[in-house]
Amino acid sequence: MIDKIQKDLKSAMKNKDKVAINTLRGLISIFNNQNPKDSKNSVENIIKKEVKKRKEAIELYQQNNRNDLKENEENELSILESYLPDQINEIELEQKINQLKSELFNNEKPNIGILIKNAISKFNSVSDNGTISKICRKILEQ
CATH number at residue 29: 1.10.1510
Question: Do residues 55 and 107 both lie within one domain?
Answer: no
* 81, 101, 118 - which closes a domain: 81
Residue 37 phi, psi (nearest 5): -85, -10
Evaluate if residue 127 carries a pLDDT over 90. no
Question: Do residues 127 and 67 both lie within one domain?
Answer: no
2's CB contacts (< 8 A; 6+ apart) are: 28, 31, 43
Residue type, 12: A
- Written in H, E and C, the secondary structure of the chain is CHHHHHHHHHHHHHHCCHHHHHHHHHHHHHHHHCCCCCHHHCHHHHHHHHHHHHHHHHHHHHHCCCHHHHHHHHHHHHHHHCCCCCCCCHHHHHHHHHHHHHHHHCCCCCCHHHHHHHHHHHHCCCCCHHHHHHHHHHHHHC
Question: Do residues 19 and 73 both lie within one domain?
Answer: yes
**From CA 16, how far away is CA 14, in angstroms rounded?**
5
Residue type, 28: I
Evaluate if residue 37 carries a pLDDT over 70. no
Evaluate if residue 34 carries a pLDDT over 80. no
Range with the lowest mean pLDDT among 12-16, 20-24, 95-99, 108-112? 108-112
**From CA 92, how far away is CA 84, in angstroms rounded?**
18
Could you tell me which residue, 36 or 25, shows the higher pLDDT? 25
Structural domain including 17 reads 2-81
Could you tell me which residue, 66 or 34, shows the higher pLDDT? 66
Evaluate if residue 73 carries a pLDDT over 90. yes
What pLDDT digit, counting tens, does each position of 76-101 carry?
A: 999 998 988 787 888 898 899 888 88
Compute the mean pLDDT over every residue in the chain, rounded to the nearest whole number. Answer: 86
Evaluate if residue 40 carries a pLDDT over 60. no
Question: Do residues 51 and 94 both lie within one domain?
Answer: no
Instruction: Look at the chain and report how many structural domains it folds into.
Output: 2
Question: Do residues 136 and 104 both lie within one domain?
Answer: yes
What predicted TM-score, i.e. pTM, was given to this entire model? 0.71
